[in-house]
Chains A and B, each alone.
Chain A
């Protein structure tokens, strides 16, 4: 009985030192805000890049033959754009995100001192490569008959993509896309490398000051877990709504 009581006493004491004294919990809150800012910003940047790269890559794959036959200028433009996209995908997916982040901070934007916008930039560019391949895979997975049906009604390439292929593609890739977002959220935990106090860094700092590693790191882990679970349940609900047409 005494030991249990002692345990709670020391737990309360530790909790007080780690979170309450000097309002240390506030640094966790600020860290969380930075993590969310970087994740949300990178997500937007990543999806925009992903859409463009996937559009270029899949229209190159789909139209290469017919454009080449027509010898149109579009063929050469598309070939060059496709090559650029391929280099982008290879380089970004072939190097660690921490290295990319540090290159962005210490080499490209030397004069910028705030790590958050650089984090958004670096993680966005990184995520864009993965999102692009997810979208492209999704577009390729849609039966070509859908595409032909759209074209045969008189829709042009872009309209067919927009009204017919992309809505179906989005539904097909949603689970994979969700995984990418979850991975992105967790990847931002390396933002501390470029001086950003994110959620992980905040927990680590508290641990350094209080010499208590258990509590702040567990707290940080719980916060990540809570966000991921929330995100997962939101996507599950969205998937259920989109499945309406399946039966």
Chain B
């Protein structure tokens, strides 16, 4: 969609994750390049969310490696906190901090972790809030916002850390239908600005429109991968055909 170089940002090698006896990820290899928008689709329970969460080590992999910006972040000796600062994450349930105002939600991490002054952090936060049309809600608490507004705040809260990649874990699944659009349009703008994005979603229309590449995960492996055109118009494996026939 946008100009991009061929620099690899995230490399995933033979990634595995088991919860007790259950193998959720059974060896995933993938490369995400800078500026790319990768959409992950798949049936529920396929391991797509788990895959996304291993990218920033919210789930510790049981095997394989995740290389981010040239550093093996799956190595227990790596200080993961430093690298997470550069990996923004947006959750299905928003997870805004209910005891802080919107502005505080957005400034606490840049102030405490990046050493920004209050003025600096607040100015940057207000700038971001303006972009998503919520500048007038800066002093509100999360409970006073609608779902769509909360998710827009969650997106800009992550952006306030100036991340190199944004991870979205079903960002519109907990929203009322009429609020899905406002969140997707923020994500589209973000994609157009050249941000590297990895998105788990059920919004197939959005995937088709915004994705550079689409991954279909099922049974813990990447069953098929390609451009939106490949995936949606010429699906090869039966599982994907079956899945698409249910969701489209």
Contacts and interface: CB of A to CB of B under 8 A. Distances in A.
Contacts of A146: 95, 97
B87 A70 contact: no
B181 interface: no
Contacts of A69: 60, 62, 76
Given A153-B84, A163-B108, A246-B143, A145 B99 contact: no
Interface stretch (A24-32, A115-123, A154-162): A154-162
A148 B91 contact: yes
Interface string B136-153: 000001111000000000
Interface in B104-160: 108-109, 112-113, 141-144, 157-158
B141 A247 contact: yes
B99 A247 contact: no
A234 interface: no
Given A69-B60, A154-B81, A159 B98 contact: no
Contacts of A153: 84-85, 109, 113, 157-158, 161
Contacts of A6: none
Given A145-B91, A149-B91, A247-B143, A155 B97 contact: no
B56 interface: yes
Interface residues on B, range: 20 to 34
Interface string A126-163: 00000000000000000101101111111110010001
Interface residues of A, number: 26
A155 B60 contact: no
Interface string B37-66: 000000000000000000010101010000
Contacts of B100: 245
Report whether over half of chain A's contact residues are helix, strand or loop; otherwise say mixed: helix
Contacts of A149: 89, 91, 95-97
Contact of A155 (B89, B113, B157): B113
B93 interface: yes
B82 interface: yes
B98 A168 contact: yes
B53 to A, nearest CB: 8
B98 A154 contact: no
Q: Among the interface residues B81, B87, B88, which one has the most CB atoms of the partner chain A within 10 A?
A: B81
A177 interface: no
Given A145-B91, A145-B93, A151 B84 contact: yes
A155 B109 contact: yes
B91 A154 contact: no
Contacts of B56: 152
Given A66-B60, A148-B58, A163-B112, A245 B99 contact: yes
B84 A148 contact: no
A70 B144 CA distance: 41
A171 B99 CA distance: 9
Contacts of B109: 153-155
Given A72-B76, A146-B95, A245-B98, 14 more contacts: A69-B76, A145-B91, A149-B91, A153-B157, A153-B158, A154-B81, A154-B82, A154-B161, A155-B113, A244-B141, A245-B101, A245-B141, A245-B143, A247-B143
8 contacts: A70-B76, A145-B93, A151-B84, A152-B87, A153-B109, A153-B113, A155-B112, A245-B101
Interface of B: 56, 58, 60, 62, 76, 81-82, 84-85, 87-89, 91, 93, 95-101, 108-109, 112-113, 141-144, 157-158, 161
Interface of A: 66, 69-70, 72, 143, 145-146, 148-156, 159, 163-164, 167-168, 171, 244-247
